[in-house]
């Protein structure tokens, strides 16, 4: 009987905790619920296999669905190649004006029909500033290879660098096997220069990552190299202008202004699609002070090429949710503030992203103040917004010490000057003027001492010369 009662209690506790979990999850709307609050009509079968919404200012994870599901990001992985490229460029290894002369191998890659590309002609010098938009907009595989080889001409080493950087950034579920998002086997033997040992390359492996990891990469990219958005903000670009090799490309980001699915503030960043990965987008938008990152992976099916449009209702719906429900704002002003019953003094204001309408509470442990809320960081390596503080009592103590030290210093000057006969009759009380007088007195005394020593030295030299004459 007792055993039966225990079993009943266990079941009841299990249902209780299960109900708590369901309630916690139900506070976040599903992808289809978000789309339902927009003007878009979508097929539920096309919804992404993984998606996240991240605050680009703070790295907070604002919404997610299957954030850690492994996916092939296709050409979005070109962003890692560009991240390494920008990193090397900012370390002065080359510049935007550096030119890369295309080889016959590069031209051969450009002519592979199965790869997204642009026209590259052997013998032509292509400036870096022209190759970057080729990577970002038409998703050129050959331009990506050319830039990667400027960082490290050995493709095996470059892929190692990509994986090392992914680990460094906290992309814990990312495994990279090529620099462009296309399998190495698709390059028809032209992935590396002839003679380069390619035995360590995985020819038929797809890159693997998650929506969370792509969001982490994008967070670091936009915070470290925001200028990349200059290449992605327009719906159409032209490269190699005023040369025989000029080309124009329409962006595949149909959420940009004046496109099929325009969304306010969108200015980047990268799309990608493949047979095994479906249709993906890594999108960013800014409204006011809030910049968001929406990553959507695995929309639709490769057999239906309209999937390149289908991804945008989902990414736009996530963005709409973000801008309607969150704000990046000043949560504590500079100066004296009462927080948690303590009077704090802040040297600068604290800004953070918070839910609109929510009461903001603070954590003041570890001598920093930060927002206490339920929004997690997308990565443990990205620390929450915080600022140092001192207590009002400590601030008062420090000011008192400063005043005491100043008085002691001034007292020393005044004491010295009061000993000078007649000076105290002038009635000068300003410590600055008294300090100047003290300096002048010290200067005069120093000059007198110098003159006295010079005279004594001259007399000494004269006596020595006289003794020398007598000895002759």
Residues tagged active-site: 75, 78, 139
Tokens of 345: 């003094």
Q: Is 270 annotated as ligand-binding?
A: yes
For residue 48, what are the CA distances in angstroms to 78, 294, 297, 323?
A: 20, 12, 5, 20
Structural contact between residues 257 and 235, judged by C-beta atoms closer than 8 angstroms: yes
Compute the distance between CA of residue 355 and CA of residue 375 in angstroms, rounded to an integer. 9
Q: How many residues does the chain have?
A: 472
E runs forming strands in 219-288 = 236-239, 247-250, 266-274, 278-287
Residue 362's closest CA among 326, 387, 329? 387
Q: Both tokens of residue 118?
A: 């642009």
Nearest residue to 140 (alpha-carbon basis) of 182, 171, 178, 168: 182
CA distances from 377 to 31, 47, 55 (A): 20, 25, 9
Structure tokens at 225: 């190299």
Give, as one character, the DSSP assignment of residue 29.
P
| Angle in degrees, 0-180, between the axes of helices 78-90 and 211-224, rounded to the nearest 10 | 30
How far is 6 from 214, CA to CA, in rounded Å? 47
In the structure encoding, which two tokens stand for residue 391, read together? Answer: 């207590």
Return the DSSP state at 209. Answer: B
Rounded distance between C-alpha atoms, residue 395 and residue 290, angstroms:
33
And the tokens for 233? 């903000």
CB-count burial class (<10 Å; 0-12, 13-18, 19+) for 253: buried
328's CB contacts (< 8 A; 6+ apart) are: 55, 57, 58, 288, 289, 290, 291, 351, 352, 353
Q: How far is CA 110 from the centre of its chain?
A: 32
Give residue for tokens 């040369």: 243
Nearest Cα to Cα of residue 78 among 186, 195, 207: 207
Tokens representing 89 are 């460029």
Q: In the structure encoding, which two tokens stand for residue 200, read together? A: 């360590």
Q: How far is CA 218 from CA 82, 169, 317, in A?
A: 11, 10, 19
Do residues 66 and 345 make contact, with C-beta atoms less than 8 angstroms apart? Answer: no
* Binding-site positions for substrate: 270
Residue ranges for the binding site? Answer: 270
């Amino acid at each position: 009987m007792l055993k039966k009662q225990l079993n009943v209690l266990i079941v009841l506790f299990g249902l209780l905790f299960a109900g708590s979990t369901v309630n916690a999850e139900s506070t976040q709307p599903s992808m289809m619920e978000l789309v339902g609050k927009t003007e878009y009509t979508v097929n539920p079968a096309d919804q992404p296999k993984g998606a996240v919404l991240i605050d680009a200012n703070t790295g907070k994870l604002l919404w997610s669905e299957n954030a850690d599901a492994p996916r092939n990001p296709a050409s979005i992985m070109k962003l890692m190649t560009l991240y390494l490229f920008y990193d090397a460029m900012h370390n002065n290894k080359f510049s935007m004006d550096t030119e890369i002369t295309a080889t016959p191998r590069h031209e051969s890659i450009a002519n592979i029909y199965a790869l997204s590309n642009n026209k590259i002609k052997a013998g032509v010098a292509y400036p870096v500033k022209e190759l970057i938009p080729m990577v970002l907009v038409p998703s050129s595989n050959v331009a990506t290879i050319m830039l990667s080889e400027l960082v490290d001409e050995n493709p095996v080493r470059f892929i190692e660098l990509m994986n090392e950087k992914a680990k460094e950034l906290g992309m814990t579920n990312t495994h990279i096997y090529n620099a462009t998002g296309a399998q190495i086997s698709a390059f028809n033997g032209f992935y590396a220069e002839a003679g380069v040992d390619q035995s360590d390359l995985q020819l038929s492996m797809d890159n693997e990552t998650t929506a969370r990891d792509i969001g982490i990469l994008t967070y670091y990219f936009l915070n470290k190299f925001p200028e990349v958005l200059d290449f992605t903000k327009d719906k159409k670009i032209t490269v190699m202008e005023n040369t025989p090799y000029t080309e124009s490309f329409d962006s595949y980001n149909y959420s940009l202004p004046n496109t099929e699915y325009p969304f306010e503030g969108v200015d980047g960043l990268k799309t990608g699609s493949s047979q095994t990965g479906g249709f993906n987008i890594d999108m960013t938008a800014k409204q006011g002070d809030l910049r968001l990152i929406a990553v959507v992976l695995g929309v639709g099916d490769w057999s239906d090429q309209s999937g390149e449009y289908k991804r945008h209702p989902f990414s736009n719906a996530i963005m709409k949710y973000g801008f309607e429900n969150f704000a990046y704002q000043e949560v504590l002003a500079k100066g004296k503030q009462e927080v948690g019953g303590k009077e704090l003094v802040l040297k600068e204001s604290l800004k953070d992203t918070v839910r609109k309408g929510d009461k903001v509470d603070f954590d003041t442990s570890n001598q920093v103040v930060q927002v206490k809320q339920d929004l997690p960081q997308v990565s443990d390596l990205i620390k929450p917004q915080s600022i140092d503080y001192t207590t009002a009592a400590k601030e008062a103590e420090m000011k008192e010490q400063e005043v005491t030290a100043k008085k002691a210093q001034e007292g020393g000057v005044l004491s010295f000057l009061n000993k000078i006969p007649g000076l105290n009759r002038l009635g000068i009380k300003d410590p600055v003027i008294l300090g100047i007088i003290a300096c002048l007195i010290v200067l005069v005394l120093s000059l007198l001492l110098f003159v006295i020593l010079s005279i004594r030295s001259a007399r000494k030299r004269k006596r020595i010369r006289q003794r020398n004459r007598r000895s002759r």
